[in-house]
Amino acid sequence: MKKLFNRKSLAITTIICYAILVLIFEIGYCNTNLFMNFVKNGTETINYNFSLCRILFYVIFLVLYIIFKNKFIDEAVNVAENKYKRVFIYIATIAGIMALIVGIVCVLVIKSEIITRAMSIILISVIMGYLFLIYVSNNHIKNIIVTAVTLGIVFSISVEFNHAIDEKRHFMTAFNLAFFNFDYEKNPITDKKIESIQHFTKFVSIDNLLAEKYEPEITNDVDMTDIPSIPTNYNFLVYVFPAIGIFIAKTFGGSIADLYILGRIFNLISYVILTCIAMKLIPYKKNIFYTVFVMPMMLLLATTYSVDGACIGLVAIFIAYCLKVYKGSITISLKQFLILIALFVVMLLAKEMAYILVGFIFFMLPIWKTLKKNKKYLPIIAISTVVILIIGVIGVIYIKNTKLIADGRATGAVSISGQIEYILNNPIHDIKLAFTHTLSTLFNYNWLVDLHQHAFFGTTAPFVFLPLMLYILYVAVTEDDHNFKIKDRIIMIIAFLLVFAMTSAVLYLQFTYVGADSIAGYQTRYLVPILPLVLFTLSSSKFETRKRLNRTMNIAITSGIFIFISLVQVVL
């Protein structure tokens, strides 16, 4: 085993795997028709789908690996003798050989373009899973990077284009930014070839998107009544990274598919950066953060066009820094206070201030001790607080006047003013609504199942969700490197409930018809950014557990197994 897992052998193995991955992706995925024409001994003339953009990034990925390989190889070598890891590496090796044999047989016997591209993704997933197992370690930050680069990136080529969670809207927003149109909400631009990408386009139907270099034909002729296809109204900052990906792809001769996929990959890059910052900041409960960050559903959304990745990352950074101050400070310094305020303001970018009440965890910090001990800072703190309140008021007024309008996708008599009036005049109805909404969401298993949504993972999704949730709960209960005081647990739970109440109220106003007995459109993923607040409260000194030496790595491997199963669900 030592001979197999030394620095030199790992580097050689990785480069060989990378070469195979490039070959499979380039021939089996990007040039399926040409390859199958060759297999069938066809006489049809089919051009090779050449892309300078893809070639460029093949080289960039290889160069990045050569530069940073030692930092990751050292961690891998340190845990190479772990039995748990060895078993799964052997399994992955056998699975890879079997997948290769089955894939070759299926391609040569069935001779189907659809089967070929599907088998290409499965082979890529198996090889990526093998590399994941090689490089996973006891370093949380490196595990996030390894998970994203190996397993996460496969979602970018396997998940259907313009998926169910408004992906086309998010894509069109990033597309507008790639052409430096920041007024995308009121005066969007489009390209009819880009616009023609249908909702729910599966990877087996993208041949026309790979066929030729993308030549922009930008127009202002946008159908603003087609709500699912127009840009969103979120802050442009959460789309900067996917816009960069699209810009690079169109600049270096990429196809439409290259634009789409590279934008997805850059969205994943932004997610990795944000979650690594959060992981670096948080002083304890790191494994809870990790398991939430790499949940299959969250990784999938981060690897496609969605603001959920930025939302989770920004909220996580704020929570992590609060806990860092909470752990190491008797009082809050002026520098810490200003950083907290800055992170809080940045966090508000996440879904138009929807998570503003996460700020309730401020009360975990030594606020009163700070005020008593540092009276000289009172004017600065008072001024900062007033400025924040003013910004908050202006933000609320802005949202009320420009953002808080009935969602165009809603059905029925939706009226914000009418809904507010109904709420004020029917307090008993409000109480019943709050009670039934809580029961139908937080205490409803069928609603919670959407944390592993069947729209992506198919009819077998519920069978994966249950063990996934039990696993996350197990990690939370046994992650007892710090057990919070009862007061602090109550504060975190209240913060969770306040965000739940606020996001529910917004949907009731914007998306639900006047006087409805339920709240329309409330999705489980809205709670993921604040899910750690509840999970942090589950451990107890009464149930201390014996920590294994490689607990962090074992947790990462288990999460990786769930991700791999989810990739198979997506493909099949």
Does 352 have pLDDT greater than 70?
no
502 within domain boundaries = no
State yes or no: pLDDT of 385 exceeds 70.
Answer: no
Is 544 part of any domain? no
Does residue 518 fall inside a structural domain?
no
- What are the φ/ψ torsions at residue 175 (nearest 5 degrees)? -60, -45
Mean pLDDT of 111-131: 90
Distances in Å between the alpha carbon of 524 and those of 91, 130, 353, 386, 453?
A: 34, 32, 18, 34, 9
- Our count of domains for the chain comes to 1
Which of 159-163, 308-312, 351-355 is least confident? 351-355
Instruction: Report yes or no on 52 lying in a domain.
Output: yes
279 near 319, Cβ under 8 Å? no
Domain presence at residue 375: no
The CA distance from 273 to 313, in Å, is 8
pLDDT tens-place string over residues 286-308: 999 999 999 999 999 999 999 99
> Span 19-43, mean pLDDT?
88
- What stretches of 136-239 show up as alpha helix (H) in DSSP? 140-150, 155-158, 167-178, 192-195, 207-210
Pairing of strands 218-219, 190-191: antiparallel
45 HSE (CA, 13 A, CB side):
0
Range 99-115 average pLDDT:
83
Looking at residues 49-54, what average pLDDT do you find? 92
Gap between the Cα atoms of 176 and 164, Å rounded: 21
Report angle CA 210, 212, 216 to the nearest 5 degrees.
105
Is 39 a member of any domain?
A: yes
Helix (H) or strand (E) holding 190: strand 190-191
Largest interatomic CA distance in the chain? 85
Confidence band of 2 (pLDDT split at 50, 70, 90): low
CA distance 451 to 299: 12
pLDDT at 366: 79
**What SS3 string covers 467-517?**
HHHHHHHHHHHHCCCCCCCHHHHHHHHHHHHHHHHHHHHHHHHHHCCCCCC
Q: What is the DSSP string of 45-108?
A: -------HHHHHHHHHHHHHHHHHHHHHHHHHHHTTT-HHHHHHHHHHHHHHHHHHHHHHHHHH
* Whole-angstrom distance, CA of residue 263 vs CA of residue 413: 37
Across the range 317-327, mean pLDDT stands at: 93
Question: Is 19 within a domain?
Answer: yes
At 290, which amino acid appears? Answer: Y
Q: Within a domain: residue 41?
A: yes
pTM of the model: 0.91
The whole domain housing 88 covers 7-158
